[in-house]
Amino acid sequence: MADDGHEPDDGLADAIYWYTLALRLPREGISAAFPSEADCRARLAKVRWPDGPACARCGSLEVFEISTRAVLKCRSCKHQFSVTSGTDLRGSHIDLRLWFGAAERAIRYRKGGPKDFHIPATTLAAGLGVYNVAARRMKKIILADLAPGGPGLLREAVCLNDVRLPAGLVVGSPAHLSWLATRP
């Protein structure tokens, strides 16, 4: 039970969560913010390793990039790994630009609908130019990542902006949602 004696409204909290994610997206859009695969890879690396890349095997910070193959190599143990190694994106042959774009589409689509209203895989496939089977897999991974309590790697990679609430606005209230809904 909430402190005010009322049951919390899961639909309200859910709507606030998704509206907030949408406001955190770059205003110019993901494709403008991250125009190349290298830009996406750099952003994912920054989110994953804020203090610089660490070896996935031994934890060493003595890592260098093999740019011709988009992999990192540990100087200590010689292990090679990529920015997606050990994540839900590992082994994917889909460009990070498409993953970032799919996350943006999922957030923008979800923002306006009721709880459990998610982008159809066919819509995602058509928008990204991938097969439906790939879009279904992407959707499953993205929704798990974006969900409250999810890993959040893609969420933090694409959600760049901070949302500053006005003073006096009660977080989690209907007024909070109304304020979010009126933002561009």
45-96: per-residue pLDDT in tens?
A: 999 999 999 998 998 999 999 988 889 999 999 999 999 998 999 989 999 9
Residues in the chain: 184
Structure tokens at 68: 């011709």
pLDDT of residue 111: 87
- SS3 (DSSP) at 41: helix
pLDDT of residue 156: 97
DSSP 8-state symbol, 34: S
Asked if residue 53 lies in contact with residue 114, where contact means CB atoms within 8 angstroms, the answer is no
Among 107, 136, 112, 108, smallest CA distance to 124 is for: 136
pLDDT of residue 70: 85
| pLDDT band per the 50, 70, 90 thresholds, residue 1 | very low
Is residue 32 scored above 50 in pLDDT?
yes
pLDDT of residue 8: 55
Structure tokens at 73: 């190599």
In the chain, the N- to C-terminal Cα span, in Å, equals 33
Specify the higher pLDDT residue, 114 or 37: 37
- Average pLDDT over every residue of 164-178: 94
pLDDT per residue as tens digits for the range 100-125? 999 999 999 998 777 778 899 999 99
Is residue 21 scored above 70 in pLDDT?
yes
pLDDT per residue as tens digits for the range 38-53? 999 999 999 999 999 9
pLDDT of residue 112: 73
The residues that bridge with 64 in the sheet, in sequence order, are 73
DSSP 8-state symbol, 63: E
Distance CA 81, CA 98 (A): 21
Specify the higher pLDDT residue, 55 or 4: 55
- Average pLDDT over every residue of 10-33: 94
Domain residue limits, the chain:
10-50+91-181
How many CB atoms are located within 10 Å of the residue 28 CB? 8
**Phi then psi for 45, rounded to 5 degrees?**
-65, -40
pLDDT per residue as tens digits for the range 119-153? 999 999 999 999 999 999 999 999 999 999 999 99
> Which H/E stretch holds residue 65?
strand 63-66
